[in-house]
Amino acid sequence: MAQSEQIVRLAKLVRYYILISTTEAGSGHPTSSLSATDLMSCLLFGGAFRFDTEHPEHPNNDRLVFSKGHASPLLYALWASAGRVSEEELMTMRKFGSPLEGHPTPAFRYAEAATGSLGQGLPIGLGMSLNAKYVDKLPYRTYVLLGDSEMAEGSQWEAMQLAAHYKLDNLIGIIDVNRLGQRGETMYGHNLGAYEKRISSFGWETIVIDGHNIDEILAAYQKATQAAGRPVMIIAGTVKGKGVSFIEDKNGWHGKPLNKEQLKQALAELGEVDPSLRGEISPPESLRLPAQQPQPVQKILYLADKPVATRKAYGNALVRLFPKFPNMVVLDAEVSNSTFADLFKERYPERFFEMFIAEQNMVGAALGISRRAKIPFVSTFAAFMTRAFDQIRMSQYSDANIKFCGSHAGVSIGEDGPSQMGLEDIAMFRTILGSVVLYPSDAVSTEKIVEEAAKHKGNVYIRTTRMETPIIYKTNEEFPIGGAKVLKQSDRDAVAVIAAGITVHEALAAYEELKKEGILTRIIDLYSIKPADKETLRKAANVTQAFVTVEDHFSEGGIGETVRSLMADIDVPVHSLCVRKMPKSGKPGELLDYEEISRNGIIRKVRELI
Amino acid sequence: MAQSEQIVRLAKLVRYYILISTTEAGSGHPTSSLSATDLMSCLLFGGAFRFDTEHPEHPNNDRLVFSKGHASPLLYALWASAGRVSEEELMTMRKFGSPLEGHPTPAFRYAEAATGSLGQGLPIGLGMSLNAKYVDKLPYRTYVLLGDSEMAEGSQWEAMQLAAHYKLDNLIGIIDVNRLGQRGETMYGHNLGAYEKRISSFGWETIVIDGHNIDEILAAYQKATQAAGRPVMIIAGTVKGKGVSFIEDKNGWHGKPLNKEQLKQALAELGEVDPSLRGEISPPESLRLPAQQPQPVQKILYLADKPVATRKAYGNALVRLFPKFPNMVVLDAEVSNSTFADLFKERYPERFFEMFIAEQNMVGAALGISRRAKIPFVSTFAAFMTRAFDQIRMSQYSDANIKFCGSHAGVSIGEDGPSQMGLEDIAMFRTILGSVVLYPSDAVSTEKIVEEAAKHKGNVYIRTTRMETPIIYKTNEEFPIGGAKVLKQSDRDAVAVIAAGITVHEALAAYEELKKEGILTRIIDLYSIKPADKETLRKAANVTQAFVTVEDHFSEGGIGETVRSLMADIDVPVHSLCVRKMPKSGKPGELLDYEEISRNGIIRKVRELI
């Protein structure tokens, strides 16, 4: 009983902290935090959770993801009750510059990832669990605090399937079923059986409890840690606002802090609180990860006269580079024979994870994996990366290190038609803070930039092409991030043609044709779209009278707009060839012509400008 | 028995058409089409499906959505067997200019929507069912052909929850469980019980059958049409490639047509086919929709001295305009008290649908609703629109008419922090072909542009602000799509400041301050970002020496890049103030200053340029 009593006192302290910090901030989500307080206090202070509080990065720490990110006051209050956050610091919550933001970000050292866009925590936790079980082979567990309202998100059900499929018995979800969403009751209210039925049908072990009964909660964690072969979901009936009678289970209190009057009243109700109380957290087993020594890699080898698709070179690169980057993990969404991630799967099956047709979960899992110091390479069609834009967006706030590869870029995929064509992916990835966006034109440069991507710290997007394309580069050339290649130049170039990927080949063909007519063009391979090589472009602007950008991508947010932004302070007109007409099925060559981004389109444009 | 025999003969004809058309095209997905052939032949020609083939738009037609869009050869073959597509036309499949594209698009008159990005069909079907049951109140049913592999997509499970919640007994899904995905077996293979268990737990009626037993299939449709209160899922065990022995149930045949030799062999196996055979489709009941007369609307009324948030004006506008646009349907994703869609919900509850925290399904449903000639207004936080980018992307290929409203734009939402901030939504919606992107700065202009959006045919995105902002405009001003407002001008303007939304107010404050210093600026409210008013900008370029764009949005793909693209052929430097630094919690004013997009940031920039 002593343990329960201690936890009751700690939970009271946590509630105290939640209330004073949100009232001080004048905003925040106290009621959403209060409903999960007993669940989380039991987890951290009841012995189940094992964490070295001095070393949040300890490889064998259990992980705790707040999928219901708006319960951040609870996250901060828990760690304050563990003695790792002072009351003074708590009172800076939501203030400019405080690491205690409105929703958790890694600025707070105990936040596993930035959350707050709902439905993303279970995939992140799944990634960490996959890593623990199959990559690190360490016994740590991943706990995910879930809201009931966010269980509507499809991404959670993707994680549900994948977790059962991968037998992740080291993944424990806890649903805080407090009945009330933001604007009213959830679909199932307090019908715990509704969650139990659905989640168990997906192959999870389920434990249904009263989320405010300390003994039941502790027993649930005890049971959960004995799981074998299946992930575990604790489904807890709770009361929103629990602990403050006048806000308990009441609609209209979502995201509302108590005012000073109400706070006084609530604290009186709470009763005496001992701010010197400190919750103890069990330490993890001090297991170490074996150090993995990078090994030398094979040389890049492509025959000069044999075209190879850049999507194939991507697959080759993953295989070739793995010895040098033993932290690589490769994920794909049911298209690995198209993206060529399957080459890696065949060679290193223990480091490849099939994520099935569930891109949101794949990206969330990649985030979790990257937060565990691995380098995830994630692939699908460029078009389907848009399925995970919210997850990609959130990763930028999580100090992530994910390498995305989108294949089948552009209209040049041909007959499959627009549903399969990536035409907005450059725009999407450009919006990600600090992202790197690379679009190689041949197999050699693809292999080089995959290595640059692996070395780089931060999110990288690599765009690959479906069709086979000729080899342009020699294997001793380098392709630094932020660089560009000038393939053709003279000091009498009339126009600079700036291309990437498939259009580099079109541009080279156009060059030859124009040269016959006495028109010299500078051909630039802008393989690094972000960051881009302003210096090379400036030099071209000094010589030429105009730029023509040409891309197999929509106009908005693509290479044309990139170059215009770069050239904002330089006086050179930038004309943009891109996909402007409704795309459709057809042969690749036909479609490139139709969209005027083929050699013919380039020639026409250059002639027009001269 | 006669009916079964007829269907067997028709199914053979359908298989014949699938094989010859894909071999002719040299690409396509015959095996994925063959597995569903018996299921679909029974549906169309067995009496369940009611459709006026002369009038695909008949309001009481049953609807058929091919969620597994790659089975397009089956879709075309079915309609050919119904006599609506000639064999000659079938042989144009996948060729440039043919309405028979690689994946269905509305270019083919019997395609309900463009599909091909998996997991999107059930949400689209759900929208049509919602419309049938609650808006049109017509007895038509919506059938959705689903692949088993795509059931991994979370979006399907969002639809699964919402369909049960809304008791859509007029929605019938058919899963073609052929065991094989693109690169191998699905998670559950031929374990029909796995689907049955999961889907029934979500509240659907399930019917498990042999997907090649004509009698079982017909009985299943019969049973499905008697559903009461619950949606129905027919779970059919099938064989990929059924009908061609050497490709049946074999991995490695996804997306592969037969070559000429193999086709010969397959046709020999198929046996004699009667190409003059025509399948009969039952006609629908000729019910008409009552004509809805637009009614006059109230006038816009805002007190000049009382600030109102544009997000609130959005809600007001929905209520005010509904009588004039009786085809409006409003959807929101659990944030209607934030987006103010709840004002409409309160006033016209029968036309409002709570879609819960499931944005992908919400957008898919909106597409289905728009295809049934309604005007869906869809709202959530701007940031969470990214959750549905793939659905938004696909809607551009579906001749859609969806009005999106993203609230809580920018860093100016304040303390909630970056997870809730829309900073890439302008970029995202700009990439949509033919989209309109509007960003009103005050309540009056918001109301005006909501009406413009309702009148416009095509996708529209409206970006709204969290905080209250002053009234700028008079109610007799017009805000046409493609227009801009010049709020301050003189013939000695040094710099033009181009803003939208929240930054218009910052720009107006900056104007006053700069004027005191003797610096005149032209202040332009670019409320229509796409299309944008080039003429107004050109006039400003004639007078001023530089442009400063200022937006509460990332730099990539936003207003700055929009203006630079517009001004590509005009010699005026465009400087861009936007969100460049990692956003964080803080007061709105602090954050605007921090990102240098506040009045102070604008003043500093203009001074720098002078």
Q: Which domains, and CATH codes, for chain A?
A: 3-270 (3.40.50.970), 311-469 (3.40.50.970), 485-609 (3.40.50.920)
Residues B309 and B465: beta-carbon distance below 8 Å:
yes
* Gap between the terminal Cα atoms of chain B: 88
Interchain pair B428, A354: CB under 8 A: no
Residues A479 and A447: beta-carbon distance below 8 Å:
no
> What is the sign, positive or negative, of the torsion defined by CA atoms of B264, B269, B270, B272?
positive
**Sequence-ordered list of residues with C-beta below 8 angstroms from that of B448, at least 6 positions apart, any chain:** B300, B440, B473, B477, B478, B479
Q: Quick one: pLDDT at residue B70?
A: 97
The pLDDT of B27-44, averaged and rounded, is: 98
**Sequence-ordered list of residues with C-beta below 8 angstroms from that of B264, at least 6 positions apart, any chain:** none
Interatomic CA distance for residues A466 and B516, integer angstroms: 59
Could you report the per-residue pLDDT of B75-95, keeping only the tens digit for each? 999 999 999 999 999 999 999
The pLDDT of A566-588, averaged and rounded, is: 96
The pLDDT of B384-399, averaged and rounded, is: 98
Residue length of chain A:
610
**Residue B281 class from Cβ within 10 Å (0-12 exposed, 13-18 middle, 19+ buried)?**
buried
Q: Quick one: pLDDT at residue B233?
A: 98
Interatomic CA distance for residues B243 and B256, integer angstroms: 15
Nearest-Cα residue of chain A relative to residue B564: A564
A275 has pLDDT over 70: yes
Q: Place A290 in a pLDDT band, splitting at 50, 70 and 90.
A: confident
**Residue B556 class from Cβ within 10 Å (0-12 exposed, 13-18 middle, 19+ buried)?**
buried
Could you report the per-residue pLDDT of B526-583, keeping only the tens digit for each? 999 999 999 999 999 999 999 999 999 999 999 999 999 999 999 899 999 999 999 9
Residues B525 and B432: beta-carbon distance below 8 Å:
no
Q: Quick one: pLDDT at residue A288?
A: 81
Q: Average the pLDDT over each of A180-189, A434-443, B336-345 and give the range with the smallest value.
A: A180-189
The number of C-beta contacts closer than 8 angstroms across A and B is 317
Q: Place B30 in a pLDDT band, splitting at 50, 70 and 90.
A: very high
Of all helices (H) and strands (E), which one includes residue A539? helix A534-543
Interatomic CA distance for residues B424 and A427, integer angstroms: 10
Q: Quick one: pLDDT at residue B384?
A: 98
> Beta strands A375-381 and A352-354: pairing type?
unpaired
3-state SS of B373-428?
Answer: CCEEEEEEEHHHHHHHHHHHHHHCCCCCCCEEEEECECHHHCCCCHHHCECCHHHH
Indicate the DSSP class of residue B530: E
> What is the sign, positive or negative, of the torsion defined by CA atoms of B300, B304, B305, B308?
positive
Interchain pair B25, A415: CB under 8 A: yes
Q: Quick one: pLDDT at residue A475?
A: 96
Residue with tokens 């340029």: B609
Hey, what amino acid is at A188? Answer: Y
The pLDDT of B439-467, averaged and rounded, is: 98
Q: Which residues of chain B lie closer than 8 angstroms to A585, CB-CB?
A: 94-96, 98, 101-102
A1 has pLDDT over 70: no
Residue A406's DSSP bridge partners are: A380, A463
Residue with tokens 């509007």: B438
The number of angstroms, rounded, from the C-alpha of A149 to the middle of its chain's C-alpha atoms is: 22
Q: Quick one: pLDDT at residue A319?
A: 98
Segments of B504-560 assigned E as strands: 521-525, 528-530, 546-554
Residues A496 and A507: beta-carbon distance below 8 Å:
no
Say yes or no: ipTM exceeds 0.95.
Answer: yes
Residues A219 and A227: beta-carbon distance below 8 Å:
no
What is each CA distance from A357 to A132, A384, A475, B119, B214, in whole angstroms? 23, 10, 35, 8, 30
Q: Out of B158, B384, B582, name the one closest to residue A390 (CB).
A: B384
Lookup: tokens for A80: 């304050």
The catalytically annotated residue of B359, B447, B551, B561 is: B359
Residues A425 and A461: beta-carbon distance below 8 Å:
yes
Annotated catalytic residues of A are 359
Residue B399, sorted as left (phi over 0), alpha (psi -120 to 50) or beta, turns out to be left
Lookup: tokens for A103: 């929703």
Q: Phi/psi of residue A473, each to 5°?
A: -105, 155
The number of angstroms, rounded, from the C-alpha of B166 to the middle of its chain's C-alpha atoms is: 20
Residue A255, sorted as left (phi over 0), alpha (psi -120 to 50) or beta, turns out to be left
Indicate the DSSP class of residue A166: T
Residue length of chain B:
610
Is B87 assigned a catalytic role?
no
**Considering all CA atoms of chain A, what is the largest pairwise distance in Å, rounded to the nearest integer?**
92
Q: Quick one: pLDDT at residue B290?
A: 80
Q: What average pLDDT does chain A have?
A: 97
Interatomic CA distance for residues A187 and B425, integer angstroms: 29
Interchain pair A416, B201: CB under 8 A: no
**Considering all CA atoms of chain B, what is the largest pairwise distance in Å, rounded to the nearest integer?**
92
Could you report the per-residue pLDDT of B207-259, keeping only the tens digit for each? 999 999 999 999 999 999 999 999 999 999 999 999 999 999 999 999 999 99
The pLDDT of A90-94, averaged and rounded, is: 98
Q: Place B169 in a pLDDT band, splitting at 50, 70 and 90.
A: very high
What is each CA distance from A232 to A42, A51, A204, A254, A319, in whole angstroms? 17, 20, 6, 28, 35
Residue B353's DSSP bridge partners are: B331
Pseudo-torsion of CA B323, B327, B332, B337, nearest 10°? 0
B609 has pLDDT over 80: yes
Interchain pair A431, B423: CB under 8 A: yes
**Residue A368 class from Cβ within 10 Å (0-12 exposed, 13-18 middle, 19+ buried)?**
buried
Q: Place A203 in a pLDDT band, splitting at 50, 70 and 90.
A: very high
Q: Place A292 in a pLDDT band, splitting at 50, 70 and 90.
A: confident
Q: Place A90 in a pLDDT band, splitting at 50, 70 and 90.
A: very high
Interatomic CA distance for residues B471 and B309, integer angstroms: 9
Residue B208's DSSP bridge partners are: B235
Interchain pair A103, B417: CB under 8 A: yes
Nearest-Cα residue of chain A relative to residue B565: A561
Interatomic CA distance for residues A395 and A371, integer angstroms: 10
What is each CA distance from A290 to A136, A137, A319, B84, in whole angstroms? 9, 10, 22, 66
- How many C-beta atoms lie closer than 10 Å to residue B299's C-beta? 9
B467 has pLDDT over 90: yes
Could you report the per-residue pLDDT of B495-538, keeping only the tens digit for each? 999 999 999 999 999 999 999 999 999 999 999 999 999 999 99
Q: DSSP letter string over A223-245?
A: HHTT--SS-EEEEEE--TTTT-G
- How many C-beta atoms lie closer than 10 Å to residue A348's C-beta? 17
Could you report the per-residue pLDDT of A149-174, keeping only the tens digit for each? 999 999 999 999 999 999 999 999 99
Residue A233's DSSP bridge partners are: A173, A206
Interchain pair B557, A561: CB under 8 A: yes
Q: Out of A116, A384, A389, name the one closest to residue B117 (CB).
A: A384
Q: Place B286 in a pLDDT band, splitting at 50, 70 and 90.
A: confident
Q: Phi/psi of residue A404, each to 5°?
A: -100, 140
Interatomic CA distance for residues A470 and B227, integer angstroms: 58
Interatomic CA distance for residues B471 and B303, integer angstroms: 8
- How many C-beta atoms lie closer than 10 Å to residue A347's C-beta? 14
Lookup: tokens for A316: 């080759």
Interchain pair B565, A564: CB under 8 A: yes
pTM over 0.80: yes
Print burial letters for B435-452: b (CB count within 10 Å at least 16), e (below 16).
Answer: bbbbbbbbbbbbbbbbbb
The pLDDT of A48-65, averaged and rounded, is: 96
Q: Which residues of chain A lie closer than 8 angstroms to B197, CB-CB?
A: 201
Q: Quick one: pLDDT at residue A274?
A: 92
Q: Out of A202, A342, A428, name the one closest to residue B198 (CB).
A: A202
Quote the Cα angle for B382-B385-B386, to 5°.
110
Pseudo-torsion of CA A182, A185, A190, A195, nearest 10°? -80
Residue A460's DSSP bridge partners are: A403, A436
A499 has pLDDT over 90: yes
> What is the sign, positive or negative, of the torsion defined by CA atoms of B345, B349, B352, B357?
positive
Interatomic CA distance for residues A377 and A453, integer angstroms: 10
Q: Place A142 in a pLDDT band, splitting at 50, 70 and 90.
A: very high
Hey, what amino acid is at A336? Answer: S
Interatomic CA distance for residues B314 and B384, integer angstroms: 18
Residues A484 and A512: beta-carbon distance below 8 Å:
no
Percent of chain A with pLDDT over 90: 97
Q: Which one, of A149, A284, A146, lies nearest residue A204 by Cα?
A: A146
Nearest-Cα residue of chain B relative to residue A422: B393
Interatomic CA distance for residues B339 and B314, integer angstroms: 8
B1 has pLDDT over 60: no
Q: Out of A201, A397, A430, name the one closest to residue B557 (CB).
A: A430
**Residue B27 class from Cβ within 10 Å (0-12 exposed, 13-18 middle, 19+ buried)?**
middle
Percent of chain A with pLDDT over 70: 100
